[in-house]
Structure 1
């Protein structure tokens, strides 16, 4: 067994708009998760392989908790993003400009939209639990 840090020391937190249907919600969460994991080193994310009794490997699962919360609207998500930027916390975000068409079309649509006009659908963060709680505790669990 690997000597691991306290699993409650850090965490992932995704805050998602409650205004999306389940298919869109899962798509947004997938994009956010993949994007954020690219920013983290293997050591930082503390990814683990699990091995079952038959010797099968269940690879690359996070040692840290992944909490999913819901937000009422885009402005609340924008504030989470701003806090992450101000505090130097690693994050990804997803807006409505990223939903239709291919990635080239989505990038162009995003580039043609002022930040103040973007509709945020989700933000995903990774960092110290206590710092993240300071500005995410007002959100409820996504159920």
Structure 2
């Protein structure tokens, strides 16, 4: 068995707006997760296979925790984004301009909207646990 790093040294954190219904929240979380995983260098994170007693493989699960938190509003998520930018933390975010229509229409709508006018629906980050906690500890777990 391969020696793995301490699983508590890094983590994924998603902050989702509490103003969304559960279906939209799952959709936003899915987009954020796929986008963030695409941004990460393969040496930055760690994935493991789980083998059950019958020998079936349950592949490529993250070794690091994935925590989902709840944000009160767009501005609180915007502040998390600003901290991530200032600290050089890998992240991806999802805004209200990314909801209706296809990807091309969403990109156009985003281009036509000033950052200050965007409503942030979620953000997903990956990094050092202690650093992320410094500016996400005020959020509660998404339940």
Deviation at 1:43, TM superposition (A): 2.9
What TM-score does the superposition give when structure 2 sets the normalisation length?
0.98
- Structure 2: which 5+ residue stretches go unaligned? none
What TM-score does the superposition give when structure 1 sets the normalisation length?
0.98
Aligned pairs (5 A) from 1:10-89:
10-89=10-89
**Inter-partner Cα distance in structure 1 for 2:18 and 2:52:** 36
Deviation at 1:59, TM superposition (A): 1.1
| Number of residue-to-residue matches in the alignment | 143
| Structure-2 residue corresponding to 1:116 | 116
- Structure 1: which 5+ residue stretches go unaligned? none
Deviation at 1:108, TM superposition (A): 0.5
Structure 1's consecutive aligned runs of 4 or more residues displaced over 6 angstroms after TM superposition are none
Deviation at 1:39, TM superposition (A): 1.2
- TM-align CA RMSD: 0.7
Deviation at 1:83, TM superposition (A): 0.3
Deviation at 1:41, TM superposition (A): 2.6
Secondary structure of the structure 2 residue equivalent to 1:54: coil
